[in-house]
Structure 1
Amino acid sequence: MKRSLPYLLLVVPYLLLPAVVQGQSKVRIACVGNSITFGHGLPNRTQNSYPGQLQKLLGDRYEVMNFGVSSKTVIRSVDNAYTTTSAYREALASKPDLVFIKLGTNDSRLPYRLKIDEFIPDYRQLIQSFKSLPTHPRIVLLLPVASFLTDTTRQTEQAISSLIIPRIRQVAFEEKCALIDLHALTIDHPDYFPDKLHPDSLGASVIARRLHEAVTSEEVKGFDFFAAIPQPASISSFYGYDCADFTLAGRACKVVKPRFAANGLPWIWRARFWGHEPQTDIALLDRGFHLVYCDVAELFGNAQAVAAWNTFYRFATKAGLAPKVALEGLSRGGVYSYNWAAENPEKVACIYADAPVLDLKSWPGGKGKGKGSPADWVIFKNDYGLISEEQALAFAGNPMDKVAEIVKGGYPMLHVVGDADDVVPVDENTAPFEQKVKALGGQIQVIHKPGIGHHPHSLPNPAPIVDFILKATKP
């Protein structure tokens, strides 16, 4: 599909090699951080810390420098401030082209957390000190890894999640820095943390591989989706990224842009429940995806909803996004995503459906095992012009009824379901849908969550979902 781009686009590595311009022999990467960066507790920390492992992964074209210091904080007015260390001064003097900053874990402990109001201005000041260097390095903020400590005076998971991570995201929004979420990558792996705080060599390897992915990923220079957005539009923070709210053809829309646009300009389209369990959305933003939303609630994927999405799709692709989109349908969003996909198979890269409604008689109808939603059943009938209960029960416009059209698209599908879901029962929705898809030669995989109901959606660590989408959208 031919796209009209109002931009001069250039695909380059994530880190465009400034060393060539500066006459340096290598790209210089400064890893600023605390004991986790330093490699506390690791045998042969020079090689086994995540900076050491990153150096091995990147090879001789890069020089990865470890400026981690144990126990240090972002907050400056305490006895362990990172900015008082010789490592900080050495990092500034190192002529870096890229700076990874992994600080904040220690700011979550007592007594430092009592000064948490100083965290944002002090972090911004730290970033500015690197931005002002003659090399003008790219700054990437790393969210802290998970903690499995239980002593509430220390760096607990609750303190890191509630006090530190939201503030780092706010700093990223204000300073327009890239983010990498190491927290979600480690939240389900206590086995990586023998002392419940510091990663072992395997945990450090997970971090190093994620940073290697970031350094070597290709980006599109000169692309700004926001330039195409109709005015007026308001800009706010979506977990540290710029989110534009605007109206298109009478529909409320949102677009979140990444700090860098990945090669191929991939995007993910959230069908419903904006911002709910956003792990996958955030992980893809970290990797250069755009995230979009076009409000068609509550139209239950009817012709009006499909038409509105067609309008948004034309707008998004004319602005430059990829001709095939990854669709994300949570709960009733599954109806929206699949009904649109059934009519637009050539425009779909993949579908990730989470506890999806695939038969409206199951939900909101409640005509099977589930309790249903009588109020939403009335809305559904009105949306489709169904006057009687008999007409509603004979309705054949569900994704379950469109499997043949869906399979013809040839795109892969991933479902994540809770096996104890009593709102959208699996055996009335995903199970028969999966059976029909496979019978027709379609591509579908299902991740089952034993003992889990309709909530929570997604996975604490969305890596399996993210990997599925990355593979399906790879240029």
Structure 2
Amino acid sequence: MNIFFKLLFICLFLGLGNEGDAQSKTRVVCVGNSITFGSGLKDPAKESYPAQLQALLGPAYEVLNFGVSGATMLKNGNKPYWKTPEYQQVLNSSPNLVFIKLGTNDSKQINRAQMVNFVKDYKEMIHIFRGLTSRPRVVLLLPVKAFSDTQFGISGTYLRDSLMPSVQKIAYEEDLELIDLYSLFSDKEALLADKIHPNALGDCFIAERLKAFILQPTKAGKDFSGQLKMEVKKNSFFGYEELSFLFKGRKAKIVRPKLVAKGMPWIWRARFYGHEPQTDIALLERGFHVVYCDVAELFGNQESIAIWNDFYAYLRKMGFAQKAVMEGMSRGGVYVYNWAAANPEKVACVYADNPVLDLKSWPGGKGKGPGSKENWALFLKDYGFQEESEAVGFKGSPIDQIAAIVKGKYPMLHVCGDLDEVVPMAENSLPFVEKIKAAGGNIQLIHKPEGKHHPHSLPNPQSIVDFILKATGY
């Protein structure tokens, strides 16, 4: 049976058990629009994501669906949620947890003139819900991706470019948890028959994500700003608090999750901080920290490894987990693998994306790729070569350090475009994977058949996230 239909079967037909005492249940309230209500489904009472979430959570929870088709967050929108009976029901429901999924209908052209009030209206609703006597936990849901700019008047482009950043801004300023449904559906257009509303299987994916979120064990995190003992600037990283500071004269960052997973797991972005951040965001949702320490452009030489060794020790003193998840995009692959080769016991896993694994391929351009004259000159300087001819026998790339890399016994995942025109797979990931496997290492490769060097990552990073969660025991 297809895995998607297995998942749908579980979501729809898992028994609910006995009703039990309603007062002893954890009450989950779903505030939203037609997607929450279940418009377009054959049986919303069973197939909507709140109904499927109820089935997944079982009798210890009570999930209430207060979705209203066409509803806007805007008070002066064409159909304000504020003026519906469902809004009053939310206020009277004594919720323990409130999911807010509003904003899709606010993208309509008819509501654009009022969007200046979107953040204000959203914050007011949050404050009202937080002020209820039950003091609920309030969680914001980014909208499901809309695969149209005209269907029902909803604009997918406006959702992506304007509305989502507004919701992330609200999450940062109100210090609220945030769940990214947009990325979750970025590869699921087939599950949205009308380009807007998920079918029952699509709602099952939402229910599964919310269930995992509710049940994941987390705790309040630490405020590191006082511990850093240096000038710290606070900013928003897609709705999460980002601490920026200098470490040994290098730019460094720590991004804090809203709640922290047990053991303080973390992902270490090697290069191109903030580029294609969907994996980082997904891990923040799950209680991981994201860290960065800029060692550009040292190309993984001993100086960069020494700086990172000190940065690692600094993070360990603050309570970070012993083993880091290493994330290397493009030339970042050199940094993560060279550090991992020197520190095999400190690595939980490696996620590399179109990675440079042979510096003679890039920036050297000694194969089929174009290389980079400017960066090759920097490489020669970083490794102390006076003449280019001296670099012919260079053996300091990750592809030359297979034995040291597999010594760590950590799993590795590469996501690669088969048509990468900058860092050719034939000179980097393909021979690297072959050598790792021959040496007994654990590595897997996700191919993007039509993919080039850009864009990195996957629109929906779930397969990357699943790999990391499995590798780290979460």
The residue type paired with residue 45 of structure 1 is: P
Partner of 2:403: 404
- In 2, Cα distance between equivalents of 1:62 and 1:131: 20
After TM superposition, list the pairs within 5 Å mapping 1:71-470 onto structure 2: 71-151=70-150, 154-221=153-220, 223-470=222-469
The residue type paired with residue 40 of structure 1 is: S
CA RMSD of aligned residues (A): 1.3
User: Do the aligned partners of residues 226 and 217 (structure 1) sit closer, same or farther apart at CA in structure 2, a change above 3 Å counting?
Assistant: farther
What SS is found at the alignment partner of 2:24? Answer: coil
The residue type paired with residue 440 of structure 1 is: A
- In 2, Cα distance between equivalents of 1:365 and 1:124: 52
- In 1, Cα distance between equivalents of 2:430 and 2:221: 45
What SS is found at the alignment partner of 1:111? Answer: helix
Instruction: Report the Cα offset of residue 391 of structure 1.
Output: 1.6
Instruction: Report the Cα offset of residue 440 of structure 1.
Output: 0.6
C-alpha distance after superposition, 1:334-377 (max 9, x if no partner)? 00000000011010000000000000000000010011100100
Partner of 1:6: none
Task: Give yes or no for contact 1:230–1:246 (8 Å, CA) kept in 2.
Answer: no
Instruction: Report the Cα offset of residue 250 of structure 1.
Output: 2.2
The residue type paired with residue 317 of structure 2 is: K
User: Do the aligned partners of residues 454 and 222 (structure 1) sit closer, same or farther apart at CA in structure 2, a change above 3 Å counting?
Assistant: closer
Partner of 1:18: none
- TM-score, length-scaled by structure 2: 0.94
C-alpha distance after superposition, 1:55-86 (max 9, x if no partner)? 01001111111111110001111341111111
The residue type paired with residue 100 of structure 2 is: I
Q: Gapped runs of 5+ residues in structure 2?
A: 1-21
Instruction: Report the Cα offset of residue 46 of structure 1.
Output: 1.3
Partner of 2:41: 42
- In 2, Cα distance between equivalents of 1:51 and 1:456: 34
What SS is found at the alignment partner of 2:450? Answer: coil
Partner of 2:5: none
Instruction: Report the Cα offset of residue 152 of structure 1.
Output: 7.2
C-alpha distance after superposition, 1:375-425 (max 9, x if no partner)? 100101111101121221211110010011000100000001111111100
Query: Could you tell which deviates more after superposition, 186-195 or 99-108?
Result: 186-195
- In 1, Cα distance between equivalents of 2:96 and 2:320: 29
The residue type paired with residue 206 of structure 1 is: F
Task: Give yes or no for contact 1:269–1:291 (8 Å, CA) kept in 2.
Answer: yes
Task: Give yes or no for contact 1:73–1:104 (8 Å, CA) kept in 2.
Answer: yes
Partner of 2:69: 70
The residue type paired with residue 256 of structure 2 is: K
Task: Give yes or no for contact 1:230–1:247 (8 Å, CA) kept in 2.
Answer: no
Instruction: Report the Cα offset of residue 263 of structure 1.
Output: 1.9
Query: Could you tell which deviates more after superposition, 152-161 or 322-331?
Result: 152-161
What SS is found at the alignment partner of 2:62? Answer: strand
Task: Give yes or no for contact 2:77–2:106 (8 Å, CA) kept in 1.
Answer: no
Instruction: Report the Cα offset of residue 145 of structure 1.
Output: 0.4
C-alpha distance after superposition, 1:261-314 (max 9, x if no partner)? 012211000000011111111111111110000010001011110111111111
Task: Give yes or no for contact 2:78–2:111 (8 Å, CA) kept in 1.
Answer: no
Query: Could you tell which deviates more after superposition, 154-163 or 296-305?
Result: 154-163
Task: Give yes or no for contact 2:149–2:157 (8 Å, CA) kept in 1.
Answer: no
Displacement over 4 Å in runs of 4+: none
- In 2, Cα distance between equivalents of 1:222 and 1:376: 40
Partner of 2:10: none
Q: How many residues align?
A: 453
- In 2, Cα distance between equivalents of 1:222 and 1:360: 39
Instruction: Report the Cα offset of residue 224 of structure 1.
Output: 3.5
Task: Give yes or no for contact 1:180–1:286 (8 Å, CA) kept in 2.
Answer: yes
- In 2, Cα distance between equivalents of 1:95 and 1:440: 59
C-alpha distance after superposition, 1:144-163 (max 9, x if no partner)? 00112242772122111012
C-alpha distance after superposition, 1:59-116 (max 9, x if no partner)? 1111111111110001111341111111111111111111100000000012112321
Task: Give yes or no for contact 1:230–1:248 (8 Å, CA) kept in 2.
Answer: no
Partner of 1:61: 60
Task: Give yes or no for contact 2:299–2:335 (8 Å, CA) kept in 1.
Answer: yes
User: Do the aligned partners of residues 228 and 148 (structure 1) sit closer, same or farther apart at CA in structure 2, a change above 3 Å counting?
Assistant: same
Higher relative contact order (CA 8 A, sep 6+): 1
What SS is found at the alignment partner of 2:458? Answer: coil
- In 2, Cα distance between equivalents of 1:391 and 1:132: 69
- In 1, Cα distance between equivalents of 2:228 and 2:467: 29
- In 1, Cα distance between equivalents of 2:203 and 2:222: 33
C-alpha distance after superposition, 1:199-236 (max 9, x if no partner)? 11000000000000000000033534444323210000
- In 2, Cα distance between equivalents of 1:222 and 1:171: 20
What SS is found at the alignment partner of 1:327? Answer: strand
Task: Give yes or no for contact 2:36–2:65 (8 Å, CA) kept in 1.
Answer: yes
- In 1, Cα distance between equivalents of 2:443 and 2:229: 37
Query: Could you tell which deviates more after superposition, 348-357 or 78-87?
Result: 78-87
What SS is found at the alignment partner of 1:173? Answer: helix
The residue type paired with residue 441 of structure 1 is: G
The residue type paired with residue 155 of structure 1 is: I
